[in-house]
Amino acid sequence: MTDFQIVEHHQCFEGKQLFCQHHSTVLGCAMNFAVYLPPKAELLDCPVLWFLSGLTCTEGNFIVKSGVQRYAAEHSMIVVSPDTSPRGTATAGEDADYALGTGAGFYVDATQAPWSKHYRMYSYIIEELQQLIVSGFPVLAHQQAITGFSMGGHGALVLGLRHPGLFRSVSALAPICAPSQCPWGKNAYKAYFGSDVETWSVYDAVQLISQGARHSTIYVDQGSDDEFLGEQLRPELLQQVCNQNGQDLRLRMLDGYDHSFYFVSSVIGDHVALHAERLQQG
């Protein structure tokens, strides 16, 4: 078990909101993460929902702004919110662009210097933090779901598609659906992986589905007034590849919602309820 410290503790909807820190051997730096324990976790192991946040966010944005604790308490779900990147690693260029480096780990394992030394968020979540959460908290390890917002929605789709046995339910809120085909993704992936676009496909949900990756059902919510809808998020590409390859996609377009935590807080209750139901189905 990886050691960690609880640095903040708050009572919330009769459960506990924890903010924790540990040293990550995968990333080579101190990392923060947040865990909400519903009231039921005092007595029994509970299912867990992973929430991956978007560009510029930390482990705290979603936890503070979304109101997820109310729904997690109601459905007896543990909620885990990791940070979005390594921090303070002195990697050249990590603070030069909001969409690259600090706050922009994209949930990938970089292969190009100087990023490859520390920027390995994929392995961090799948291996190190996964082990820490399962061993350190009252988690039902066989009942895990994943969701996320924007860059985190991309991460949820990729991790869910690549690990359907681990994450038995997957959803996303306004995800970057095809990072290989949008400015944010192209900018980050060229730095993290180099110019050979073929190497980008393992971290691109559209490419993964076209190459045969599957999950039982993918749920996506997207606001119609999202300012990044056309250029960056590209849900039409996800819909197209799912239609072409027989992947079940439930894409819900919601009128009037933008790309903000107002949107996230408006739909997160539906996602918690959805994942709780799917995990209970076995």
Tell me which residue of 140, 106, 121, 117 sits closest to 282, measured CA to CA: 140
112 SS3 class: coil
Q: Is 22 designated active site?
A: no
Residue 170: phi and psi, rounded to 5, are -135, 135
Beta bridge partners of 30: 23
Catalytic annotation, pick one of 259, 266, 271, 275: 259
Catalytic annotation, pick one of 53, 171, 226, 275: 226
* Contact partners, residue 89, CB within 8 Å, separation at least 6: 27, 28, 29, 117, 118
Tell me which residue of 165, 177, 172, 133 sits closest to 52, measured CA to CA: 172
90 SS3 class: coil
Q: Is 201 designated active site?
A: no
Q: Are strands 46-52 and 139-148 parallel, antiparallel or unpaired?
A: parallel
Q: Which residue has the tokens 């490859």?
A: 116
Q: Is 226 designated active site?
A: yes
Query: Using CB atoms within 10 A of its CB, is residue 90 exposed (0-12), middle (13-18) or buried (19+)?
Result: exposed
Consecutive H or E run containing 121: helix 121-123
Pair of tokens at residue 106: 């994209």
Query: Using CB atoms within 10 A of its CB, is residue 14 exposed (0-12), middle (13-18) or buried (19+)?
Result: exposed
* Contact partners, residue 236, CB within 8 Å, separation at least 6: none
Distance of CA 253 to the CA centre of its chain: 20
Catalytic annotation, pick one of 53, 150, 171, 266: 150
State the catalytic residues: 150, 226, 259
